[in-house]
Amino acid sequence: MTGHSELRLNCLARREAVRPIRHAVAAFLAAGGRAGPQTTDDILTAVGEALANSVEHAYAEGGTNDELELVARVERDRTVTVDVYDRGTFIERALRPGRGFGLRIVKAIAKDVLVETGEGTHVRMVFELPVRGEGAA
């Protein structure tokens, strides 16, 4: 894959949607052939955390219009940008033992992370792709 390519997914924000979305992102990265297994695993871990946060925290349980959107792009500058959007309400939660590591994991893995709240929550994660010969497949 050369230049810019994009994957765009919309679905209901349900726990059972996270795994198929991660599989779609994995296939998208594999089609590009530039991520390599370690980078792919890192991206999927961070994306999974962002998706899980949206599914778990954005909406009141049992809503019927709870939407989630993911946009992944392979950029010309050897980065992958993944945006996760929900239209729920961002809630700053108190720390609880054994909980609250999702965003910290995302920030530890991604080159850059942006979280915007307002009319929903938008998490943008930017990941660097390895240079050929440095972990690329």
pLDDT winner (highest mean) among 40-44, 50-54, 118-122: 40-44
pLDDT digits (tens, 9 = 90+) for 83-98: 999 988 766 656 556 5
| Topology given in CATH for the domain delimited by 5-128 | Heat Shock Protein 90 (3.30.565)
What pTM was estimated for this model as a whole? Answer: 0.84
Domain definitions of the chain by residue range = 5-128
Cβ atoms 22, 52 nearer than 8 A = no
pLDDT-derived band at 112, boundaries 50, 70, 90: very high
Query: Of the ranges 54-58, 65-69, 123-127, which one carries the lowest mean pLDDT score?
Result: 54-58
Q: Averaged over 12-36, what is the pLDDT?
A: 92
